[in-house]
Chains A and B, each alone.
Chain A
Amino acid sequence: MPVVSHVTCPVCGSFCDDIEVIVKNNVITDVRNACAVGAAKFLDYANHRNAKPLVRKNGELVEASWDEAVRKSAEILIDATYPLLYGWSSTSCEAIRVGLELAEEVGGVIDNTSTICHGPSILSIQDVGIASCTLGQLRHRADLIFYWGCNPWSAHPRHVERYTTFSNGRFQKSTWRAHVSRLGGILSKKRLRRAINLVLGRDVFATPEISRELPYNMFQKKRKMVVVDVRKTHSAEAADYFLQVEPNKDYELLQAFRMLIADEELDVDHVAGVPVETLNEIADVMIGCKLGVIFFGLGLTMTEGKIRNIDAAISLVRDLNQRTKFLIMPMRGHFNVAGANVVFTWQTGYPFAVDFSQGYPQYNPGETSVIDILCREEADAGLVIASDPVAHFPKKAAQNLVKNPLIVIDPQTTPTSLMADVVFPSTFVGIETEGTAYRMDHVPLPLKKIVEPPSNCLSDVEILQRILHEVRRIRSKRK
């Protein structure tokens, strides 16, 4: 049976590159090494496919020829005074490059999904800079790992195993054995508590008191993992220590850590629901580590404070670097959202929310970012590629998006494609088409072609190029 090895997984920002896929008669029959999320993508990608180009006529989406669909989309984009081109994070860098050319040609606003995930991180990186590295460095050297406002166990399932606590690095040993025995301990403790509650006639499901004392192993010399979150997630259970912060109070906590690391005293005895003694102890652990890293997710970027949370987190890392070595990295969601930022930046100078309406790139998130534009009802046409904003955007933004003529390029039927005026069936990049994508630490890796695409689907690159050519052709004719 043919096995395709060293396949990259086009799902999450961890972008694992050790997947093995077994193919029989152009059908993927099995996947090795991938997590459940990755495997599901490889095995089930063929469901709910868009099979033919569709164009809306008399209120209904009907099948159309490629030429007709391309012409219709080119006309929509040319006639618009302020078109939006959105998506990009789940396609290849090659497609993003063509997309930027198209945005410039039609004088539109182009934005990628960072606008609703790590946009604030980018803004504060521009304000205060960042100390970061590749994941390989962390795998081999990091001995203190913070996951702040993110839940890798569910969202980046192999992150902990491949790059941090449970990975076996050259200088840092994996701690998964300790984790397994601790899990056993936790389980028996849970059972015991339940039994006691049953005997005493108490509420069996009552949430237990959270112990605020640090476990003794936090001070042992081994790899340690700390999770900071508003709720006890699976990642928190796997961590050596879990810091439960009051919702929307991360900024205070980060700033308090900065004070403690600078050996200053606090005037309060609790910060964000955590006693200051605990913070002091964790600050000691931070200073005592050899190489620490903070991974942060949307729990930090999209809660109250937004860019300022990241501002404080990066400043904390900067302060820590005066005492030890510390790094920080955003936990990017889609497999190529980092790539979208990189390609946007090398082409226009800005990582997202780029406005080409005056012919040159302008950038000011809040003004040129897609959600704000839609909420102010300024756009009059849209192109969405490899994304599903109708399902993810705030209601008002989604409503205003579908009010205008809308072009969707997507392999699958999504709520957005159902509301569109033109739908292009594309191929799955990383399964049916080759390409390049950037891992969350900005390492570019190739996306492989494993199976042949359905006959009527084209790659994102080809579709965009056809639209671009048509736009140029109609423009020159009209002149």
Chain B
Amino acid sequence: MITLYPKRLFKAPLDAQCITPDIFAEKPVSKIAELQIWEGNQKRTLDQLFKIEYNAKNQSEEMTIRILGDVRKARRIGAKMSTGKIIIDGDTGMHLGEEMQGGTIVVAGSAGSWTGCMMKKGIIQIKGDAGDYIGAAYRGSTRGMNGGEIVIQGNAGNEVGCFMRNGLIRIDGNVGQFVGIHMRNGTIIVQGNSEGRTGAQMSGGKIVVCGHTPSILPTFTVDSIKSKVKVNGEIVKGPFYKFVGDLAEDGNGKLFVSQIQNPHLKFYEKYLE
């Protein structure tokens, strides 16, 4: 296991895409210290910014990196990683686990925007909150998250799962607007409330909102009332209104919204008789 301690509080953004188990695993500790990292427009080495501690005793099979401290300015930690584990005991910055292909990331604090964007496999677990564009695509791209699992125990921002193509996003807290916008496939489950416009322009996939939502987009049509839904093999108890849309995109996405938490959607029931 390798433990990194930030030597100071950072102000300018750090481009920390070198902090991944893949890169660390193939290098001796002396070489890890020399890894290049950008702080704003200055090129630095890893040991200029972090105290690096190598603990051979705990070295199990898979490479583990532990970061102790506040790295909320560090971006792209765990980018493209394919194996091993990263544990962050503190807050972290944007693009965590970008294009991740395997392995696990656990964050004890909060994470920034674009967490797990374009990820293909692996698990990201955030104990705190997360920013916008969780599991989304890069600007202008239509290839969002394509597999793997993101779990956010706190709240998340807007546009969770934008252009998502596969995989699972689980949010225990509340979310902002446009959950699953342009989604093609995959599953998003929100235990808390959603600020609305859920599933905008989705063409496939499944979104479950267990809490309150202010309204359903006019481009969704009510399909039925379901007593439960299945998410990744688990059963979530309802009852749920099931909507289908987004019809403006000729979409076939499924949107499940709790019936009990949303009495203002009762008028849809007249279309079900």
Contacts and interface: CB of A to CB of B under 8 A. Distances in A.
Nearest to B270: A267
A258 B248 contact: yes
A258 B219 contact: yes
A82 B178 contact: no
A266 B246 CA distance: 12
Given A81-B40, A252-B217, A364-B139, A267 B181 contact: no
Nearest to A262: B248
Interface string B193-211: 0000100110000000000
A365 interface: yes
Contact of A255 (B12, B38, B248): B248
B225 interface: no
B140 interface: yes
A374 to B, nearest CB: 12
B222 interface: yes
Contact of B38 (A256, A271, A357, A365): A357
A308 interface: yes
Interface in A245-300: 251-252, 255-256, 258-259, 262, 264, 266-268, 271
Interface in A373-416: 377-378, 380
A363 interface: yes
B3 interface: no
B11 A378 contact: yes
Contact of B39 (A81, A108, A126): A81
Contacts of B260: none
A367 B218 contact: no
Contacts of B200: 251, 255, 308
Nearest to A307: B159
B99 to A, nearest CB: 14
B12 A82 contact: yes
Contacts of A357: 12-13, 38, 40-41
B132 interface: yes
Given A304-B177, A308-B178, A358-B41, A266 B248 contact: no
A311 B218 contact: no
Nearest to B13: A378
B17 to A, nearest CB: 11
Given A82-B40, A123-B139, A267 B11 contact: no
B201 A311 contact: yes
A268 B218 contact: yes
B94 interface: yes
A255 B218 contact: yes
A267 B222 contact: yes
Interface in B118-140: 132-133, 138-140
A127 interface: yes
A312 B181 CA distance: 11
A283 to B, nearest CB: 13
A126 B41 contact: no
Contacts of A259: 218-219, 247-248
Interface string A459-474: 0000000000000000
Nearest to A368: B13
A378 B139 contact: no
Contact of A380 (B11, B113, B181): B11
B197 to A, nearest CB: 6
Interface residues of B, number: 40
Contacts of B138: 364
Given A255-B218, A258-B219, A311-B201, A81 B12 contact: yes
Interface in B235-256: 246-250
Interface residues of A, number: 40
Q: Tell which of A80, A268, A315, A356 has the most Cβ of chain B within 10 Å.
A: A268
B201 to A, nearest CB: 7
B41 A81 contact: yes
Given A267-B271, A315-B248, A378-B73, A256 B41 contact: no
A271 B218 contact: yes
B268 interface: yes
A127 B163 CA distance: 11
A304 B220 CA distance: 20
B113 A256 contact: no
A136 interface: no
B42 interface: yes
B172 interface: no
A305 B181 CA distance: 11
Contacts of A425: none
A283 B142 CA distance: 29
A357 B11 CA distance: 14
A75 to B, nearest CB: 15
A107 interface: yes
Given A267-B222, A378-B13, A126 B197 contact: no
A378 B12 contact: yes
B15 interface: yes
B241 to A, nearest CB: 11
Contacts of B261: none
A366 interface: yes
A316 B19 CA distance: 44
Contact of A108 (B13, B41, B221): B41
Contacts of B15: 358
Nearest to A106: B41
Contacts of A252: 197, 215, 217-218
Interface in A215-268: 251-252, 255-256, 258-259, 262, 264, 266-268
Nearest to A353: B139
Contacts of A107: 40-41
Given A267-B218, A268-B218, A358-B41, 20 more contacts: A80-B41, A81-B40, A81-B42, A82-B11, A107-B40, A123-B139, A126-B140, A252-B218, A255-B248, A256-B219, A262-B247, A264-B247, A267-B268, A271-B218, A308-B201, A312-B201, A315-B249, A365-B139, A366-B113, A367-B94
22 contacts: A80-B41, A82-B40, A82-B41, A127-B142, A251-B197, A251-B200, A258-B248, A259-B218, A259-B219, A259-B247, A259-B248, A262-B247, A267-B218, A267-B271, A305-B197, A308-B178, A308-B181, A311-B201, A358-B41, A363-B139, A380-B11, A380-B12
Query: Which 4 A/B pairs are nearest by Cβ-Cβ distance?
Result: A107-B41, A81-B40, A82-B40, A258-B248
